[in-house]
Structure formats: structure tokens, C-alpha cells
Amino acid sequence: MSTFLSFPEDFVWGVATSSYQIEGAWNEDGKGESIWDRYSHTPGKVIDGSTGDVACDHYHRWPEDIALMKSLGLEAYRFSLSWPRILPEGRGRINQAGLDFYSRLVDGLLAAGITPFITLYHWDLPQALQDEGGWPERRTAEAFVEYADAASRHLGDRVKNWITHNEPWCASVLSYALGEHAPGMRDMAAAVRASHHLLLSHGWAVPVIRANSPDSEVGITLNFEATEPASSSPADTRRTRLEDGTYNRWFVSALFGRHYPADIVAHYEPLFPNGMDFIQPADFEAIAAPTDFLGVNYYTRRIVRDETAEDNAPQTLFPDLPKCDMHSGVWEPVYWEIYPQGLYNLLNRLYFEYGPKKIYITENGTSFLTGPDENGRIRDTNRLNYLRDHFAAAHRAMQNGVPLAGYFVWSLMDNFEWAKGYQQRFGIVWVDYDTQQRTPKESALWYSQVIADNGLVPAM
Ligand code: FCB
């Protein structure tokens, strides 16, 4: 018999989405163009040629979506604001209609008893700012503070949980160096600059949000991957340390007052023959502004092999794991492994190495394409198992003292999965894109019961 895993009484159970992935209405009511509008409208960028022009049409269907969340018993909803809906040119002129939309959404959530968690930046940079250089330029960080000020001034009386950025690694490296996300650049130096300005804009925005939204809690969301070497060879070990450094340590280290890790600075330095002069001495103090929580997004692990090395050992340290339907790489897919133990390890590592006051899992979930059966039921047992095993891993970490305060499943509903378009389905709710009908999958009904019981029975 498995024992029941109970969570603390005030544990927050929620779901997450982001503006560009669900809203649609890409050019309505005065919204400006974002880099994702531009990117998805450019042929050859998104795998199925699709766009977020309509997406889940949440911009028009939000009352229905709130009712759906309420019916599932969800306690909190993490969503992002579209910056160009609020500041169409990125700075300066405010589009009141944009603010009004989010104001109605917040009121609707509160009336339904659902706590809003706002993410300010989930990748839809105003195109006007990209035209001036985007995140590699310091003035984009200045514009972000203006946006954070406008948003928190108008919503901060009712919204008490703020996340400045979602996954700065994706917003910098994936977008400016690997070319997989908007704006699709391939310039590592630009990506490093972007990463710095993203972190800096976070640090500058924290006190502004606090001033506008008294008693609020402010944090940032990072994405982490469990990086593990393919073999015990020195080359694979070195390479793993490097990947962990550029992906994980670079961001968390600066945020927790330890500047950038010396090994990664040394790795990046050759990109900047004139020095890393975009980093100013006072920046580190700003970046390390005390926060109330760390948001953690976790999906999978990455097995690292140094393909160029001669001393590669043949043995495999970590056997292959089951995979979901999601993959890294757009055109050469590497499927994501399912690795709940990685979440346990990560939570321990973050807490014992960096000591955040509080942690929220701001995203965790999986893509399986499982669709309706002949009775219209969506039996996504694979997703249910994924969530169950990750919840159990999180619970185990909490037994070690990790201050995990809540869990947001990615995602409320199937949506536009960036460069993978509509070819992935991360939702616990099925979306029929022809009719926009939403149907809770088995995993949603199961999750609803977990919330009602405030706990779950783990796998045997
Ligand atoms: C994360 C993103 C989120 C979604 C999931 C699958 O990296 O934050 O928008 O795409 O991956």
C-alpha cells in the first residue's frame, strides 16, 4: 500500500499559460506588434507555418476560461501580460484598452477565488524595441522598467504575486544565439549581452513593483535542466559542467549575489575582444535585489556528450528514460526524457546551494498528443503519470526542508508551442482549434481531485 502524500495547508495549486501562446487578437484594440508576431508571420520559422494570431482565442473567451479553471478547483493562475498590448511602441504611449483587458481578467479571477500570478515578460517583446536592437541593448532594460511600472501601477492593488521574467536563458540564448525563437538571431555575443540586460531589468523592476504594489511578493522564473554526462570521461564531465554553467548557473548565481560564475565568464570572454564592457560595476547589486521567491520551470534532463573529444569513454552512465512527444531542436528533434528524480535533485540543489526564501514550481508538465477517443474522452494516462511522479518528487524534496510553496502545471490548455506551433499539446485541457472547444483531459480531472484532497497517492 502506498501512503498518501499530503501537502501543507497553504500550498498553492495552479496552472500556467502565457499571452502569446493563448490570447490571439494579435492586432486588436490597439495592440502593437511583438517579435513573435513578426517571427511567426515569417515563412519557415514555425514548424507548421502556424501563428498565434488566433491561438486559443483567450482574449475573447477569458470568462469561459476562468469558469473552466473554477470548475477544476484551481487555486491560482499564472499568466503573462503582453507588453505591446500595454505599450504598443514598447515605451511612452500607454494603450488603455490593453490595461483594461488585464484588469477585467484580474477581477474575474478574484471573483472566482483564483489568485493571479502575473509574469511580465514571457517573450513577446514589442517589435519596436527589437528594431532598436532588442535585449542586447541596455535601453531595452530601461524600457522594461517603464512597462513594469505601468503594469504594477494599474494592477498592483489587486495582484500580489509578480514574476518579472520567464526563462531568461530562452529569451537570450535560444532567441539570440540558437535562432530557434524570436527574433531568430545567431550571435552568441548578442545573446550574452541579452542575458545580462534581462537580469538587469529584473533587478531594476523589483523595487518599482514593490512600490506600486504594497505587500506583494516579487520573483523571477528560471528554467533548469538536469545536466548529466553521457560518460565518465574527462571530456564529457567538462562539457557537462560547461552546459550546466551556461544554462543553469549563469542566471541563478548572479541573482543570488555571486556575480557570474568565473568559468563561464572565461568561456564567454573571447567573444568580447574589447572586454565585457556592457557589464557595469553597479549592475550586480541591482541584479541581486532581494526577492520573495524563485520560480522554477522544470521539464527534462539533458545528457551531455563532448562529440569533439578523443578521450570519450564509451560507457553510458545514465540509461535512456521514457520520452514524451516534445523535443528540443526544431528540425533535428531530441525527444524530452521523463525524469522526476531530476526535479527532486534540482530543488535540493537550489535550496541548499542558493537558499531562496521560497520556491514555486512555475512550470512543469508534458506534451503528449493523445486525443479524444470514440466517446470524446481524452485518456492521457501518460500525462497523469508524469504529473503524479513529479508531484511526488517535489513532495520528497519538501521533506528535506525545501520551502516549496506552490505548483503550476504547464499548461491549462493546449496552445501555440512557439517554434513547434500547434504540433505539441501540453494542456491538461484539450483544445479543438476548429471550434475552440475546451475539454478537460483525464489528467485535469485527476489534478482537480489532487487539489481537493491537497495530496495524492504516489505510484507503487
Ligand atoms: C517553457 C516555456 C513555456 C512552454 C513550455 C513547454 O520553456 O516557458 O512557454 O513553451 O516550455
Beta pairing class for 5-6 and 455-456: antiparallel
Confidence class of residue 163 from pLDDT cuts 50, 70 and 90?
A: very high
Annotated active-site positions, please? 167, 363
Query: Which residue's alpha carbon is nearest to atom 4 within ligand 1?
Result: 417
Residue 426 phi/psi, 5° resolution?
Answer: -95, -5
Confidence class of residue 3 from pLDDT cuts 50, 70 and 90?
A: very high
> Is the distance from the beta carbon of residue 410 to the nearest atom of ligand 1 less than 6 Å?
yes
Which pLDDT tens digit goes with each residue over 65-98? 999 999 999 999 999 999 999 999 999 999 999 9
Closest C-alpha among 274, 279, 152, 261 to residue 209: 152
- Residue of 328, 418, 420, 423 to mutate, ligand 1, most atoms within 8 A of C-beta: 418
For residue 418, give the ligand 1 atom closest to its CA.
10
Q: What is the pTM of this model?
A: 0.98
DSSP string over 214-278? TT-EEEEEEEEEEEEESSSSHHHHHHHHHHHIIIIIHHHHHHTTS-S-HHHHHHHGGG-TT--TT
In this structure, which CATH number among 3.30.70.260, 3.60.20.10, 3.20.20.80, 3.20.20.100 belongs to the domain 5-456? Answer: 3.20.20.80
Closest C-alpha among 152, 82, 154, 85 to residue 121: 82
Query: Which residue's alpha carbon is nearest to atom 9 within ligand 1?
Result: 18
Confidence class of residue 313 from pLDDT cuts 50, 70 and 90?
A: low
* Distance (Å, whole) CA 430 – CA 425: 8
> Is the distance from the beta carbon of residue 416 to the nearest atom of ligand 1 less than 6 Å?
no
- Domain-by-domain residue ranges, the chain? 5-456
Give the least confident one: 30-39, 223-232, 238-247, 287-296: 223-232
> Is the distance from the beta carbon of residue 362 to the nearest atom of ligand 1 less than 6 Å?
no
DSSP code for 363: E
Burial of 20 (0-12, 13-18, 19+ CB in 10 A): buried
Which pLDDT tens digit goes with each residue over 357-410? 999 999 999 999 999 999 999 999 999 999 999 999 999 999 999 999 999 999
Which pLDDT tens digit goes with each residue over 212-256? 999 999 999 999 998 999 988 999 999 999 999 999 999 999 999
For residue 365, give the ligand 1 atom closest to its CA.
6
Question: How far is the centre of ligand 1, averaged over its atoms, from the C-alpha of 418 (Å)?
Answer: 8
pLDDT at 329: 81
* Distance (Å, whole) CA 396 – CA 304: 26
